[in-house]
Structure 1
């Protein structure tokens, strides 16, 4: 995934849950880097992640993944 980092940003690897996932997080799934475009809250603490490619992934309350998050310089 190239060209998507805003100028003046640093990439950091972060552990995410259904509560802490954010738009813009990039998650590697099946060898592909998928960037979160939208989030939909579901019952029981779950969230549906909609990626820029149109694919979806449901994270349950106990799901834990590693994502790349763009951090702005302070």
Structure 2
């Protein structure tokens, strides 16, 4: 899955894109959690739609994270 040795061998551009991918994963997780558990965010929507959108964002973040971890190192 994640090997620290391959992370060290990556070029600076690949490392930057990897870290950016992790930041985006965290962004989707936090935004989805805020939609599900926060009552002030998008309060004009019905609660079931806020929860569905929050779950969708969390699932999308998990899919992005899995794809990021399963990348093959370029040779």
Q: Does the pair score TM above 0.5?
A: no
More strand by share: 1
Q: Name the TM tier (shorter chain).
A: under 0.3
TM-score (norm. length: structure 2): 0.19
TM-score (normalizing by structure 1): 0.19
Choose 1 or 2 for highest CA Rg. 2
